Chain A
Amino acid sequence: MEDLEMSKWSLVTKGFIKDNPTFVLVLGMCPTLATTTSAMNGLEMGLATLFVLVLSNIAISLIAPVVPDKVHIPVYIVVIATFVTVLQLLMQAFVPSVYATLGLFIPLIVVNCIVLGRAEAYANSHNALDSALDGLGIGIGFTMSLTVIGIIREILGSGSVFGWKFIPGDGILAFVMAPGAFMVLGYLMVLFNKYLRHS
């Protein structure tokens, strides 16, 4: 029993470090680079992806046994797109301010390779509970990575964290724009892999 609980727990935690989607699997780079201009944006994008990932993993693990191999990709994409559209409508209706900043990137979750990647690599051959936990773990890992990148870019680029300004002045503009995203991501990847190899 304890072993079983341990393995469930490790299903979730493996997404944090060992199979971290951003720094280890290197998936979903488009939203990672585009939405992390501030800590808040990174966090919100991560949570939105987490929501879709968990639900699509559950749905796909349930329907996978009856979906013929030839059409499994189109079916998965339809399922994922449905959840993304549901999320988009809900956000528009109940948190319009969040939608105003992230609206452009929400439809992109459909083609985020993390979501399809987990469907293909995990959900279609595991049960609903394990798939949900896998989605949760990978989603949390993705959210943490995006938030960390967002925090670093916001400190360097705007002198603030989560909108709280503690360094007066304009900051280093490059970090708010695309080049900064690549630099921060690159250096974090170096640190991450260095740490992983030593442990």
Chain B
Amino acid sequence: MVLCLTAVCLFCGAILGIVNAVTEKPIAEAAHNALVASIAQVLPEGGEISDANISDGFEYYTSTSEDGVIGYAVKSSTIGFGGTLTLMVGILPDGTVYNTSVLAHSETPGLGAKCTSDEKFTSQWEGFASDKVLKVKKDGGDVDAITASTITSRAYTLAVANAVEFVKSMNGGLGNE
């Protein structure tokens, strides 16, 4: 009895070890590709993208060209309606949001999950000027919420606002480079 269980567990463990060894690289590559694609999507083209930096609990990537910093891609998480909502937010040095993309979410399909597909909602982040208020309209800001998904929209907006705040404080600290 014990022998049988041991043998089965050993054998299964060995199989898992092999499969893990085989798939480890493709999994890391797939995750890396997804990350690079999301950064490319939220920042203007032409910059050299740095490795991951971590500061204040934010993971961010700096895109630089010969003329200096083009923009920052900041990974920002908040709590949405169904769980953690993680965004990649592209921010220009002057605080303008260049674009955003969703890295991970668990919002309700057909409602909050529209934050990845609803044209009206996603397109407003392209070039969201720094003087506009990062709050949904219901709360007195300038962000159009997704119909029937105010909580998701608030979480999304908060994630963007946190990222912008972070870039501003970082730039301020470095003497506005």
A interface residue numbers (CB < 8 A to B) = 37-38, 63, 66-68, 70-71, 74-75, 78-79, 81-82, 85-86, 89-90, 92-94, 96, 104, 157-158, 170-171, 173, 176-177
Contact = CB atoms under 8 A, between A and B. Distances in A.
Interface residues of B, number: 23
Interface stretch (B9-17, B120-128, B151-159): B9-17
Contact of A79 (B12, B20, B23, B109): B12
A176 B23 contact: no
Nearest to A103: B104
B138 to A, nearest CB: 19
B34 interface: yes
* Interface residues of chain B: helix, strand, loop or mixed (majority): helix
Tell me the interface secondary structure of chain A in the complex: helix
A75 B4 contact: yes
Contacts of A70: 1
B15 A176 contact: no
A176 B109 CA distance: 7
9 contacts: A68-B1, A71-B4, A79-B8, A86-B16, A92-B27, A94-B23, A173-B110, A176-B108, A176-B109
B19 A86 contact: yes
Contacts of A63: 8
B30 interface: yes
Given A82-B16, A94-B26, A157-B110, 6 more contacts: A75-B4, A78-B9, A86-B15, A89-B27, A92-B27, A158-B110
Given A75-B8, A89-B27, A177-B110, A96 B34 contact: yes
